[in-house]
Structure 1
């Protein structure tokens, strides 16, 4: 593994999102001095926090899987995730609703899910689910250590027996077709293939290897941190500062001072100069390229994932049919993905994710009130409407989205809203997300593994990248790994824990203990 050369005593990490915080913890554990610089008012990055009246709203991811990866970062400094954050396992992980009026509870426990599939679609599908689950577990074991939790220096690293094992498992076939080998019910196939949207690829075109995301969602467990998803980066920031990191928020880096192929210092918007031995850039890939003054040459431009419209709604009521996470699929499926990724059109028959965090933490809303997060995928601004077009389009789409929710059984949703915030590609663009997408670079074959933008920077010996735009990719588990991999480029550490599916399988609720480190304002 190639590593940063020369001294690495003091490392500046630009960006205090999940990848930056994970990187900082691993660096601290390896004895480095760390300064974390964050342009926003508090840590979190995409996993930020805002207040709508008396509602506390997570601005980014709402689904937590593989929390042991976060615990590994805490463990680097002799701490534990479970000392800071109370986690509750979600049973079911999701509720799934379909256009025909049917509903399915998606359990991560194998026996519970087999029974639910049998109720929903009969014994043959239940048997198929068991075979699918076994395949997903095999896929995860083959991919995690060799193709996800690893630093690539060359595509030649793919030449390993695990590549043959992945091929034998059908990992290079198409996701939709591979899932169809186990399940014939079209509704069930959607439950185990919609995750391809996270990767920015339609299930009919995505590699079957991307089913590893379905493993995380439907096998390994889904968890909820008390206080919302922002509790995770806040706790990581506390652990990092408690271990000696200097965290400076509302601090923007504007220049990297270079000489002899190394960054010698970072310059802030205030004019202050911070000397350093190495730099880890966890900001948006396009922002990193701006700071570097260069972007690596690629034979074709980077492709970005679809974007999303999010409606944060604080309401005076909720609806019993909703789970903590509810997936509501429209009747159209292949057409929907074509609209999102090729035609650049809004979904004519949308599939939606509705998250209700107050189902497990009433303190996120005023007494007797509820918080709903409605995510509707939409085209990014490269293939769909421009960012500017969303200024007029946004309010109209919001109204159609609310009307669609009411048609799907959330009667009175419009009248129940007391506080709301609509987030569209216009807002994502203003935050610096390329192509107006918070999901960054898509996971096409040419943008995966060793073909994804690498975390080492050609021409600079002491700069490393981390975050969803680089290896291994998009999602909470992968950006935590990204931070660890970036730290390893600095420290030379290669030790990894073996793959594990759940943090503590027998425990549904993990107690927290008060943190002795300082807290930071939510962004």
Structure 2
């Protein structure tokens, strides 16, 4: 048969997933990536000769990757060694209190009962049941659907189920009906930040994150970046060509449809299908040429999701039993998010996430200095504000002082610390201001404002964390498969493609 050509912009999770799927269905696939290696936001930084995961650090929704590898004729466990965590995370507050959450529901119930009392423990049972319901209602007609709509949800689930997913209530307000202890509202409200949003403005639908985590969190031997390497290897084995250090200057358009890409060095790569995994804001701003500008909706600066300041470092810790995942909460959560989203400023006292990459969920401390990834939320202002050394130093002092107030002492040295700011994220991902999750999920319609797999420009397909179904490693993988499946469906009348299946979603030939 005549071979269709596809070019994929970006070698992150979405791009590599799309490339593998397209190549396994007989297309001639080229992936172009401006960085010098795969991963996208799944970064690995070398500090003192030691690799540190400096992007996503939580692996959930394993079924997404089991399905992907099965569709490619592979098995996930043949490539990666995954170890399930029994303790999801350790949480700490400045008053000295601590709370662990577990994959086992009864363990979490007991822990919450000892932490906040029996009433809130029973509230947790109800919260988890509702979180499970939300996920079950949304999985097929929304999460796994290439182009979902409110009407699709209504037809699939009915009005009663639609109201059960709490789309019209803010997450923070909804949590008040389950928990009287403000620390628990803070803990579970943090799930809004998983998609770069504020718990005071995001819908209670995001309660589903609690179910996703309780269904399983895994550690990958060698770190999360091993997933990026594996996806790249699989794409190559399926026949895709990966080209790194290639900056795309424009998406070419011929006769009203995408026709390939032009690189910054002037090289043209012609294609029948273009899959763009860059942030849709960059496309809308014309950073991929004027012809593609109107193919996607823009993201106003006021609708940007969170950015971050991160420290990838090797250091020593004391006075606190860190787990692989630990969270240290600020004393005024509302003030923290008002500062970021209302005033576009760094919070005076941030909530801090620490990933201790040489530990598991047993709190066993390494015998030598350990690898730490430390993150605080920040406003996405990296395109109009330069984070100078003095400001970075002030943020560092506030962050490590916050950890100290919660009982954790961290000692690092400048030569073993690499800081990334919104300015740096905007440089790596232009057009975003450093926003890491595309559009924020503020308001009940926000999720429907993310573009689906098909753009307004024929032949141009979209994937990645700024598109449907949203940010996060498994969601990006789903979006890559959706983009590939949509392209296959659109070209199905002129080529003999094998069937592509997605559990709970689509089957196209």
TM-score by length of 2: 0.88
| Residue 417 of structure 2 is aligned to residue 420 of structure 1 | yes
Displacement, 1:42? Answer: 0.8
After TM superposition, the structure 1 stretch with the greater mean CA deviation from structure 2, 479-488 or 180-189, is 180-189
Secondary structure (helix, strand or coil) at the match of 1:403 reads helix
Question: Contact 2:71–2:500 at 8 Å: present in 1 too?
Answer: no
Q: In the TM superposition, what is the alpha-carbon distance from 1:230 to its structure 2 partner?
A: 0.6
Question: What does residue 17 of structure 1 align with?
Answer: 12
* CA contact 2:352–2:374 (8 Å) conserved in 1: yes
* Contact residue 391 and residue 426 of structure 1 kept, 8 A: no
Task: State the match for 2:300 in structure 1.
Answer: 301
Q: What residue is the counterpart of 1:512 in the other structure?
A: none
Task: Give CA deviations for 1:463-486 in whole Å, capped at 9, x if unaligned.
Answer: 101111111111222111111111
| Counterpart selection for 1:211 from 192, 207, 213 | 207
Larger RCO: 1 or 2 (CA < 8 Å, sep 6+): 1
User: Which residue of 2 is the match for residue 373 of structure 1?
Assistant: 373
Residue 61 of structure 1: CA displacement? 0.9
Does the 8 A contact of 2:88 with 2:325 survive in 1?
Answer: yes
CA distance in 2, matches of 1:91, 1:417: 34
In 2, Cα distance between the equivalents of 1:449 and 1:204? 16
> Is 2:137 the counterpart of 1:142?
yes
Task: Return the TM-score normalized by structure 1.
Answer: 0.86
Q: Is the 8 A contact 1:316 1:416 kept in 2?
A: no
The answer to whether the Cα contact below 8 Å between 1:143 and 1:166 also exists between their aligned partners in 2 is no
Mapped pair 1:151 → 2:142: no
8 Å contact from structure 2 (residues 23, 29) kept in 1: yes
Give the 5 Å matches for 1:106-121: 106-121=101-116
* Rounded Cα–Cα distance in structure 1 between residues aligned with 2:294 and 2:318: 47
Please name the residue that 1:456 is paired with.
454
Q: 1:169 & 1:446 partners in 2: Cα distance?
A: 11
User: Is the Cα–Cα contact under 8 Å of residues 315 and 418 in structure 1 kept in the other structure?
Assistant: no
Q: Is the 8 A contact 2:128 2:210 kept in 1?
A: no
* Structure 2 residue 346 is matched with structure 1 residue 349: no
398-407 or 481-490, which deviates more:
398-407
Give the aligned partner of residue 516 of structure 1: none
1:480 match: 477
Query: Aligned partners of 1:135, 1:329: CA distance in 2, in Å?
Result: 25
CA contact (8 A) 2:281 2:299 kept: no
Quote the Cα distance in structure 2 between the aligned partners of 1:408 and 1:320: 8
Aligned counterpart, 1:66: 61
Q: Structure 1 stretch 75-84 or stretch 295-304: which is displaced more?
A: 295-304
Aligned to 1:497: 503
What is the alpha-carbon distance in structure 2 between the residues aligned to residue 248 and residue 298 of structure 1? 28
Q: What is the CA–CA distance in structure 2 between the aligned matches of 1:154 and 1:138, rounded to whole Å?
A: 19
Matched positions, count = 485
The answer to whether the Cα contact below 8 Å between 1:25 and 1:73 also exists between their aligned partners in 2 is: no
Task: Say whether the 8 Å CA contact 1:28–1:76 is kept in structure 2.
Answer: no
Structure 1: state its 5+ residue gaps: 1-6, 500-523
8 Å contact 1:180–1:189 — kept in the other structure? yes
Segment of structure 1 superposing worse, 243-252 or 22-31? 22-31
Deviations 1:314-370 (A, max 9, x none): 014555511111011122122222112112232222211111011149xxx998220
- What is the match of residue 53 of structure 1? 48
> What's the counterpart of residue 182 of structure 2?
186
Deviation at 1:105, TM superposition (A): 0.7
